[in-house]
Amino acid sequence: MMTYDELTDAAAEEIARQQGYHQCVRVCMAAGCLSQHHDAIKLALEQAVKDQGRAGEVQIKGVGCMGLCAAGPLVMVEPEGVLYERVSPEDASEIIAVLGSEPVQRLVCPTDVPFFERQVKIVLENSGVIDPESIEEYIAAGGYEGLNRALTELSPNEVIAELVRSGLRGRGGAGYPTGLKWSTVAKAISDTKYVVCNGDEGDPGAFMDRSVLESDPHRIIEGMAIAGYAVGANRGFIYVRAEYPLAIERLKLALRHAKRNALLGNNILGTGFDFNLEIRLGAGAYVCGEETALMASIEGKRGMPRPRPPYPADHGLWGAPTLVNNVETFASIAPILRRGGDWYASIGSETSKGTKVFALAGQIRNTGLIEVPMGITLTEIVHEIGGGTPNGRQVKAVQTGGPTGGCIPEAYFDTPVDYESLAKLGSIMGSGGMIVMDDSSSMVEVARYFMEFCMTESCGKCIPCRVGTAQMYRLLDKFSQGRATTADLDLLEQLCDLTLNASLCGLGQSAPNPVLSTLRYFRDEYLARLLPAEPALAPAPDSPAA
Amino acid sequence: MATRSRIKTLKINGRDVSAHEDETILDVAMEHGVFIPTLCQIEGLTISGACRLCLVEVAGWRRLVPACATHVEEGMEINTDTERLRNYRRMIIELLFSEGNHVCAVCVSNGNCELQALAQRLGMDHVRFTNLQPVRLVDMTHDRFVLDRNRCILCLRCVRVCDEIEGAHTWDVKGRGSEARVVSDLATPWGDSATCTSCGKCVNVCPVGALVKKGRAIGEMVKRQDFLPYLSNMREVKK
């Protein structure tokens, strides 16, 4: 049986071994850079090290996402802290040859820019730094310290109290206070309870959860084990969509390593606490990100939502009390336990504490993943960190919260990013997708695109969502083709109202958001596409043309 | 056998009523003769909450709640019949009509159809939406029954009765959104089904003319649903 001290000793040994190298070249091995054949770059770098006879001096390390996907493939040289962008395998020997002297200027990516300097990394603290396939590196970076502290120093109630103090709110989108959710599940009386991690990230343009799972999988395992201890659950499920093969592979490896090191399974760290984790794969349905549909899917049923209440905290997986949190929420747990709830609460805004990871996509220069303190303004995110549009065009709006979020026009970019402020603007925080649109985007087309997404992803159970989204899509299509009438506009607004208020689950209830927010801020674009008003008396069909 | 159940008092449409704590708003409303339209709900099967016709307003609650799936609470003030709800209900029926082939004049269930009855009662006299005209197949492979998916409203009563009462689970749903279809076994013809017992329960619970007996002419198909409370009550007693 491993104790925590033995684990940290093993980790320290690993660090000592790594410090034997003069230099470390970190290569991003997350899906964004891998899609640009980054594995070939790693091989080329390793070959270059061998060819130049520096095998004992230079370490080539595959790491997780470094964030600036727009400039990928990325390579980082430590300890100099030189970041190379758009690296190709042909650059490998040159990069290795100049190690320790002047860097290769044409590849250097400046790191003294707002994109790097304005970020505050908690969830992503290890991303791009440690090897996601090495548990020793995670432990050496302070990993499993939070779990050890929870198990050996705190009672379950104290863990929850720490979380309540942190002010952490659910990062899946709705922002439900995490401490409150945990205490509800903890209070439920049942022999069996479950902890579920929602990794069914399906919003177009969003890849926060994928990146965390690929870059730092142990963080999720640690967060879930702490949750299991706090709420009294001995079994958990990580629900990951099957479209994330690399995340699944790294997660599987991490689970094996954690089990081998007594950090999962029975009698964790010799404390007598048992917690077992299994992976469940989603089969491609967006609606399975809705917690009741997700649980149905884990149970092996068709992934369709059911009415709440009863909430999962009371009646979840197989009827047992179940804690469902999203990947980013679980990723925030270990740092809170390690550094305390007060520390976490000192970051962020009044109502929304801590940091939030956003995936910047669309018409923006610095496409990629960022982590910023809550309360930062949209201007700072889009113009400073994001660097504005790549072609110098005017930014028109930013779509937050995925297909069921809303479009916020540039006039409101001084709004702080927190749950309440975004809701007031008719959008949602959502899971963290941010799609930037420039003045060439048609908002009617944007609304139509997202409605098409909701229409095809509706499960088909409730009528307002199944047929309502299909009819709204038809109406938006009419607008898009310039065939709509004022009656169509009226009907569209009525359908938005119905779908919003009468749908069964969050998908339907928020599906009208893109339409409502674009109608609110860009109504003139809809009006411009109306058919010209009918003349009072249409000429008879056989009347001669004027 | 008699277990203790707490009594709650509440108001429905301004009327004071009392109810057991395990009753739903719909149970209490029906008991007091208050009409709430329903389509997916049928006594004897599990609650689905899918059709959203039974949505009601509860004073002080932000969201509308389905009467079939919401338990009573002390002091609730429920409104079942407001202008807003009437509008929503009419629109939901309109959406259903826009989604399939609901031409009553040529339907075997004409005059005995729950959708038709609701449309009349809720005053849905025309459909403002374009018909979506989905491609939906008719299955006539069974000896005695027909499934016309063009008339199906996806209430999933057939799926539930087959699973929960007959225990065969012949029916289930394939596809998502507008592509969702009721299928037998693994989307194979009903007539080839290895699990179907030909009990006819699905036909009898179907609220419309989607599942019917063969050889019926227009308006001749009458469903009998009285077996359902009988069977489920028998199970309750046995428990």
To the nearest whole Å, the CA of B15 is away from the closest chain A CA by 25
- Chain B nearest-CA distance from A454, in A, is 9
| Radius of gyration, CA atoms only, chain B | 19
Q: How far is A531 from chain B (nearest CA, A)?
A: 18
Q: Please give the pLDDT value at position A72.
A: 81
Same domain for B159 and B61:
no
Same domain, B100 and B193: yes
Which CATH number goes with the domain that contains A390?
3.10.20.600
Are residues B221 and B105 part of one domain?
yes
Residues B31, B120: one domain?
Answer: no
Total count of domains within chain B: 2
> Based on the domain organization, do B205 and B95 belong to the same domain?
yes
List, as ranges, residues 475-504 from A with C-beta within 8 Å of B: 487, 491, 494-495, 498, 501-504
**Domain contains B2:** no
Q: Does B23 touch chain A (CB under 8 A)?
A: no
| Same domain? B41 vs B71 | yes
pLDDT for residue A118: 92
ipTM, two decimals, is: 0.95
Q: Do residue B102 and residue B219 come from a single domain?
A: yes
- CA distance linking residue B107 with residue A316, whole number of Å: 42
Closest C-alpha to A87, from A18, A24, A25: A25
* CB-CB neighbors (< 8 A) of A503 in chain B: 52
The answer to whether residues B94 and B49 belong to one domain is: no
Please check whether residues B124 and B158 belong to one and the same domain.
Answer: yes
A367 and A226 in one domain? no
Residues of chain B with pLDDT under 50: 1
Return the amino acid letter for B12: I
Domain assignment present for residue B206? The answer is: yes
* pLDDT score recorded for residue A266: 94
Whether residues A195 and A333 share a domain: the answer is yes
**Does residue B230 form part of some domain?**
no
Q: What is the mean pLDDT of each run of 10 residues along chain A (546 residues)?
A: 81 84 89 80 92 89 91 88 92 89 90 92 94 94 94 96 96 91 96 96 90 96 97 97 95 96 94 96 93 96 93 96 97 96 95 94 93 95 94 93 90 93 90 92 95 95 97 97 95 97 95 95 95 67 52
Domain check: are A153 and A86 in the same one?
no
Q: Where is the domain boundary, B81, B104, B119?
A: B81
Dihedral of CA A122/A125/A127/A128: which sign?
positive
Query: If DSSP codes are grouped into helix, strand and coil, which group holds residue A442?
Result: coil
Question: A462 vs B55: CB contact, 8 Å cut-off?
Answer: no
pLDDT value, residue A77: 92
Q: Tell me, yes or no, whether B126 and B53 share the same domain.
A: no
Domain boundary among A345, A379, A408: A345
Residue B195 lies in a domain: yes
Q: Is residue A130 part of a domain?
A: no
Render pLDDT for B107-157 as a digit per residue (tens, 0 to 9): 999 999 999 999 999 999 999 999 998 999 999 999 999 999 999 999 999
- All residues of chain A having their beta carbon less than 8 Å from the beta carbon of residue B179 are 456, 460
> What CATH number should be reported for the domain holding residue B214?
3.30.70.20
The C-alpha atoms of residue A230 and residue A250 are separated, in whole angstroms, by: 26
Contact with chain B for residue A469, Cβ under 8 A: yes
**Domain that residue B167 falls in:** 88-225
What's residue A542's pLDDT? 61
Same domain, yes or no, for A109 and A185?
A: no
* Per-residue CA distances from A323 to A97, A105, A210 (Å): 52, 50, 21
Q: For the domain that residue A83 is a member of, what is the CATH number?
A: 3.40.30.10
Q: What is the DSSP string of A343-355?
A: HHHTSB-SSSBSE
Would you say A468 and A503 are in contact if contact means Cβ atoms under 8 Å apart? yes
Identify which of A458, A471, A474 has the shortest CB distance to residue B177. A458
Residue in chain B nearest A454 by alpha carbon? B177
Where a domain ends, among B81, B101, B118?
A: B81
- One domain for residues A171 and A316: yes
Domain span at residue A455 reads 443-528
Tell me how close the Cα of B215 comes to any Cα of chain A, in angstroms: 31
Query: Does B159 fall in a domain?
Result: yes
* Contact with chain B for residue A462, Cβ under 8 A: yes
Question: What count of Cα atoms within 13 Å lies in the side-chain half-sphere of residue B42?
Answer: 27
The CATH number of residue B17's host domain is 3.10.20.740
Beta strands in chain B, from DSSP E residues, in sequence order:
7-12, 15-20, 55-58, 65-66, 77-79, 138-139, 145-148, 171-174, 181-184, 211-213
Q: Considering B32, B53, B81, which residue would you say is the last residue of a domain?
A: B81
